[in-house]
């Protein structure tokens, strides 16, 4: 009898080893369905990201350089720009103090109209603060 030279737990080279393919708990058909589902989810995520990039920004931005589009602000954007509360901003819109359009129940404030409004208000404030030339002559 030949002497066994293998250590405990080792297999001899002449031993037949069964194929040890990993056992996959997920059937192949289901794996394909999961892959399709993941691909659809990724596609939807990409669409959402693209829509967010195309959406109107949360913060007020200067108007675009091209003349083809008109930049309008929402009430909340104007309130942030003017550092007013929403209620006060709505009050000024309803009184006609801030130039705006009401379209479909929603107030929109064109950028150029807001700029003109602010420039006119600034000129009026500066004019009221300057002493008149006639009043200076009268005092002399």
Q: What is the per-residue pLDDT across 39-93, written as a single tens digit (0 to 9) for each?
A: 888 888 888 887 776 666 566 666 666 666 678 999 999 999 999 999 999 999 9
Q: Which H or E run contains 107?
A: strand 106-110
pLDDT beyond 60 at 139:
no
- Is pTM beyond 0.75? Reply is no
Longest dimension (CA), the chain: 138
């Amino acid at each position: 009898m030949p002497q066994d030279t293998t250590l405990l737990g080792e297999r001899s080279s002449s031993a037949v080893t069964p194929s040890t393919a990993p056992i996959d708990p997920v059937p192949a058909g289901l794996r394909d369905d999961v892959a399709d589902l993941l691909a659809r989810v990724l596609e939807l995520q990409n669409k959402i990201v693209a829509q967010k990039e195309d959406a109107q920004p949360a913060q007020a931005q200067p108007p675009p350089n091209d003349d083809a589009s008109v930049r309008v602000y929402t009430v909340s954007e104007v309130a942030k720009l003017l550092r007013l509360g929403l209620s006060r901003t709505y009050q000024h819109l309803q009184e006609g103090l801030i130039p705006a359009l009401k379209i479909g129940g929603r107030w929109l404030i064109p950028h150029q109209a807001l700029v003109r409004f602010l420039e006119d208000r600034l000129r009026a404030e500066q004019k009221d603060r300057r002493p008149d030339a006639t009043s200076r002559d009268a005092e002399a």
